[in-house]
Every structure is written in structure tokens, then in C-alpha cells.
């Protein structure tokens, strides 16, 4: 197995960064306050979606670099003290982590200055039927499940696995649980699922869930993303408008999804238009990869290495300094639309969604 992706790694100088303001909020140089930490628990997945991972030859993270539960909880505790209020567990597929219930339980016990944190998860849903009761009991509060198509053959082609029935069982289990709001995520792809968008929304509504369409982003491990083939926000809305009256919902704040009421509501559909209508100006998110790298943006080409602090003799104050160095290094936005844009070397599965 090859261990380290080609990513420029910044080792925050924890000694030379002494006046870091421990206990204060995580504010970047553009005034954005960070409240959301996405924690990737593994780069492994039970599917091989074409927009995320290659079929073969993926360079997996070295097993000994994967953070232990104690290490994750330590970073999360320091982050909560600095004002992070939501931990979203991602992957790869987070439910592949064997101690996932324990991870949720220990994270849910964390309290920040304003009270207990919220625990959310983005999953492909395949292991939900067996794990959901334990996850809810451990403190999981919100779920996003990925479902790009309801057509079995299309699903098999897109994910390179014949697992649609398993995903549908996972969604049914989530729908039967008390977890709300329940969100279903679909990456909109021309020639793949662009004829299914109305059907996907109806499917979500039938399960008490909200469908959110995501513009495809240049994050695939194969670097095959092509702007000319992506389905845009405007095209998605135009299609949905043939079935429903769409009313924009105000007050989006830092949320990635722009919401639209369907026929006056209360049900709604979301569009995450990272490419054609970026929302970086209100971004409150940072990421911790499964191998201990902090990232201040989905599209970062640099990372802040926590492993030397976590596995050396670093104190919690040093973890805090790395968090602050990461936030301070954040750029105003992703620059996908700039000719100088460079796709991150890590694939989506190794970044965390
Ligand atoms: S692209 Fe980066 S800065 Fe923009 S919203 Fe996403 S994570 Fe935040």
C-alpha cells in the first residue's frame, strides 16, 4: 500500500505561534467564524463512485497513520473549546470504521462553551440497518445519505457495485428512525441521472427526507472532471420547475445548500452549487482527515499536520495552535473558476465530504 498522497503539508510551527488566542473563536483573516468540523474516519468505502474513486489502483492511507479514537476525541475536544459546535463524520464511508458507535458516543459527550456539540454523519447508508439503533443511542443526531440514482443498472455502473437494494434499505431504516431532518444527497451528472431529478425528489419526500442536489466538483481521484459536462444549478432548478413552484428560502447563513420550498412548502429541495454559485464567503467549515491532517477548505492544496503533535509530546495548547494556524491560512474561496485552479491531490474519499 502507498501511504501518503502528494499534498503540500504545512507543519504548523507550534512554538513560534505562541500568541494563538486559545479559548477564542476560530476566526480566519476574512472574519469567518468556524463552527463546523468535518471528521473523516476512513478513506475506505464499500462503493467506487466514478466521481470519487478510481476502480483500481487507489492509493490508500497507511493504516498506522489513521487516527485512533482517542486522538480524534482529543482534537475534537480542543476544537469544541474553540467554538466548534458540530462534528460531521465522513469518509470514505464512516460506517466501515469498526468502532463507529464508540466514536459517536465519545464525541457526543463533548461540551463546548455553549453546551453539547451536535453529531452528524454523511454515509452511503449500506450499513445503517444494523448500526442505526446503536448510533442513535450513542448520540447521533443528523444523517445525510448519498443516493445518486434509483435505477439499479445505473447505480451499478456509477458505483461499480450492485448495492442499490442495500442503500434503499439504509434509507428506509433512517426514515423509520426519529432522526430529522433527514437529507438525501445526489450529485447531478449529465447523461447519468439528469433525467431522474424529479423522481429523486419524490422519492425523498416519500421518505420524509429532503433531497439536495450537488453540482459535480473537480474532486475525483481520476481528475476527469469536465466543466462542460456538469449539470448546473440553473439547469437543476429549470427541470424541477416543470413539476413544482419553487420559492427561495431566505436566511441560508453558512449552509452549503440553497433551499427552495416546493409548491409553497413546508417541504423543500436543496441545491449545493459550489461551482456556479460559490458560497465561500460564509464558509464555517474545516476538515480533519483520517490521517490527521487539518484542511481549511475542500479544495486546499496544503494541509496542517497534527500527527507530530498527537503522537509526540504535544499539549492540547499545541493542538489548538495548529487549528488556529489552519484557519488563519484559509483563502477567500476555492477558485474553481480561475484558470490557475489546481485540483487537490487527494481524492474526495481521502478528504472527507
Ligand atoms: S470551497 Fe472551501 S471555502 Fe468554499 S465553501 Fe467549500 S470548504 Fe468553504
The CATH number of residue 214's host domain is 3.20.20.70
Q: How far is the CA of 282 from the centre of ligand 1 (A)?
A: 9
Q: How far is the CA of 299 from the centre of ligand 1 (A)?
A: 7
User: What 3-state class would DSSP assign to 322?
Assistant: helix
Residue 332 Cα: closest atom of ligand 1: 3
Instruction: Cell 507550534: give the residue.
Output: 14
Q: How far is the CA of 92 from the centre of ligand 1 (A)?
A: 19
Confidence at residue 311, expressed as pLDDT on a 0 to 100 scale:
97
Long-range contacts made by residues 311-314, C-beta under 8 angstroms, separation at least 24? Answer: 311/71, 314/14
Confidence at residue 229, expressed as pLDDT on a 0 to 100 scale:
77
Confidence at residue 271, expressed as pLDDT on a 0 to 100 scale:
98
Bridge partners (DSSP) listed for residue 328? none
Instruction: Cell 480524534: give the residue.
Output: 72
- 8 Å CB contact between 325 and 10: yes
Q: How far is the CA of 42 from the centre of ligand 1 (A)?
A: 21
Long-range contacts made by residues 95-98, C-beta under 8 angstroms, separation at least 24? Answer: 95/123, 95/124, 95/126, 95/127, 95/128, 95/131, 96/42, 96/44, 96/45, 96/46, 96/127, 97/41, 97/42
Residue 27 lies in a domain: no
Residue 331 Cα: closest atom of ligand 1: 3
On the question of a cis peptide bond just before residue 28, with omega within 30 degrees of 0, the verdict is: no
Tally of domains in the chain: 1
CA–CA separation, 8 and 212 (whole Å): 32
pLDDT along the chain (353 residues), means of 10: 37 41 88 97 91 80 95 98 97 96 98 96 97 98 98 95 97 95 96 96 98 91 78 97 97 93 97 95 96 95 95 96 97 86 82 78
Instruction: Cell 413546508: give the residue.
Output: 266
Residue 23 lies in a domain: no
Instruction: Cell 510551527: give the residue.
Output: 13
- Nearest CA, atom 2, ligand 1: 297
- The CB density around residue 236, as the number of other CB atoms within 10 Å, is 22
Confidence at residue 331, expressed as pLDDT on a 0 to 100 scale:
95
- All three cell numbers of 317, joined, read 495548547
User: What 3-state class would DSSP assign to 72?
Assistant: helix
Confidence at residue 308, expressed as pLDDT on a 0 to 100 scale:
96
Confidence at residue 40, expressed as pLDDT on a 0 to 100 scale:
97
Confidence at residue 16, expressed as pLDDT on a 0 to 100 scale:
35
User: What 3-state class would DSSP assign to 223?
Assistant: coil
- Nearest CA, atom 4, ligand 1: 280
Pocket lining for ligand 1, CB < 6 angstroms:
278-280, 283, 285, 297-299, 333-334
Confidence at residue 55, expressed as pLDDT on a 0 to 100 scale:
77
Bridge partners (DSSP) listed for residue 213? 186, 271
- All three cell numbers of 163, joined, read 448495492
Q: How far is the CA of 298 from the centre of ligand 1 (A)?
A: 6
Q: Which residues form the domain of 251? A: 36-351
- Nearest CA, atom 1, ligand 1: 334
What are φ and ψ of residue 81, in 5° steps?
A: -60, -25
Residue 300 Cα: closest atom of ligand 1: 2
Probe residue for ligand 1, chosen from 38, 284, 287, 298 as the CB with the greatest number of ligand atoms within 8 Å: 298
H or E element in which residue 114 lies: none
pTM, two decimals, is 0.92
Write the DSSP assignment of 127-177 as a string of letters. Answer: THHHHHHHHHHHT--EEEEE---S-HHHHHHHHSS--HHHHHHHHHHHHHS
Residue 218 lies in a domain: yes
Confidence at residue 14, expressed as pLDDT on a 0 to 100 scale:
39
Probe residue for ligand 1, chosen from 274, 288, 289, 297 as the CB with the greatest number of ligand atoms within 8 Å: 297
Residue 274 lies in a domain: yes
- 8 Å CB contact between 62 and 4: yes
Residue 19 lies in a domain: no
Extract the runs of DSSP E, i.e. beta strands, from the chain.
8-10, 36-40, 86-90, 111-112, 115-116, 118-123, 142-146, 182-188, 209-215, 246-248, 258-262, 268-272, 285-288, 293-295, 302-305
Residue 51 lies in a domain: yes
Probe residue for ligand 1, chosen from 33, 299, 344 as the CB with the greatest number of ligand atoms within 8 Å: 299
Binding site, annotated residues for GTP: 38, 88, 122, 183, 285-287
Residue 337 lies in a domain: yes
Q: How far is the CA of 333 from the centre of ligand 1 (A)?
A: 6
User: What 3-state class would DSSP assign to 200?
Assistant: helix
Q: b/e map of 57-94 (b: 16 or more CB within 10 Å)?
A: ebbbbeeeebbebebbbbbbbbbbbbbbbbbbbbbbbb
Instruction: Cell 499534498: give the residue.
Output: 7
Residue 5 lies in a domain: no
Q: How far is the CA of 268 from the centre of ligand 1 (A)?
A: 23
Residue 334 Cα: closest atom of ligand 1: 1
Q: How far is the CA of 331 from the centre of ligand 1 (A)?
A: 9
Amino acid at each position: 500500500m502507498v501511504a501518503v498522497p502528494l499534498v503540500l503539508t504545512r507543519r504548523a510551527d507550534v512554538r513560534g505561534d505562541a500568541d494563538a488566542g486559545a479559548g477564542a473563536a476560530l476566526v480566519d483573516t476574512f472574519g469567518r467564524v468556524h463552527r463546523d468540523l468535518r471528521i473523516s474516519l476512513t478513506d475506505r468505502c464499500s462503493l467506487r463512485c466514478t466521481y470519487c474513486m478510481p476502480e483500481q489502483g487507489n492509493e490508500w492511507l497507511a493504516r498506522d497513520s489513521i487516527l485512533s479514537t482517542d486522538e480524534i476525541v482529543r482534537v475534537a475536544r480542543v476544537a469544541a473549546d474553540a467554538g466548534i459546535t458540530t462534528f460531521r463524520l465522513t469518509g470514505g464511508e464512516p460506517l466501515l470504521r469498526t468502532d463507529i458507535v464508540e466514536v459517536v458516543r465519545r464525541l457526543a459527550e463533548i461540551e463546548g462553551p455553549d453546551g453539547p456539540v451536535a453529531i452528524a454523519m454523511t454515509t452511503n447508508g449500506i450499513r445503517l440497518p444494523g448500526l442505526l439503533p446503536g448510533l442513535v443511542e450513542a448520540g447521533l443526531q443528523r444523517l445525510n445519505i448519498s443516493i445518486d440514482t434509483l435505477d439499479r443498472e445505473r447505480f451499478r455502473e456509477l458505483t461499480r457495485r450492485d448495492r442499490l437494494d442495500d442503500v434503499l434499505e439504509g434509507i428506509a431504516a433512517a426514515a423509520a428512525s426519529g432522526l430529522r431532518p433527514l437529507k438525501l444527497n445526489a450529485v447531478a451528472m449529465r447523461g447519468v441521472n439528469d433525467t431522474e431529478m424529479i423522481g429523486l425528489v419524490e422519492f425523498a419526500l416519500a421518505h420524509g427526507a429532503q433531497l439536495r442536489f450537488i453540482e459535480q466538483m473537480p474532486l475525483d481521484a481520476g481528475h476527469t472532471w469536465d466543466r462542460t459536462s456538469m449539470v448546473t444549478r440553473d439547469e437543476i432548478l429549470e427541470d424541477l420547475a416543470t413539476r413544482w413552484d419553487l420559492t427561495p428560502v431566505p436566511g441560508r447563513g453558512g449552509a452549503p445548500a440553497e433551499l427552495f420550498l416546493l409548491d409553497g412548502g413546508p417541504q423543500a429541495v436543496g441545491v449545493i452549487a459550489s461551482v456556479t454559485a460559490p458560497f465561500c464567503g460564509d464558509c464555517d467549515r474545516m476538515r480533519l482527515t483520517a490521517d490527521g491532517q487539518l484542511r481549511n477548505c475542500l479544495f486546499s492544496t496544503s494541509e496542517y499536520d497534527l500527527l507530530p503533535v498527537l503522537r509526540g509530546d504535544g499539549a492540547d495548547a499545541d493542538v489548538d495552535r495548529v487549528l488556529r494556524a489552519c484557519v488563519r491560512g484559509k483563502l477567500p474561496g476555492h477558485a474553481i473558476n480561475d484558470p490557475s485552479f489546481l485540483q487537490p491531490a487527494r481524492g474526495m474519499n481521502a478528504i472527507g465530504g
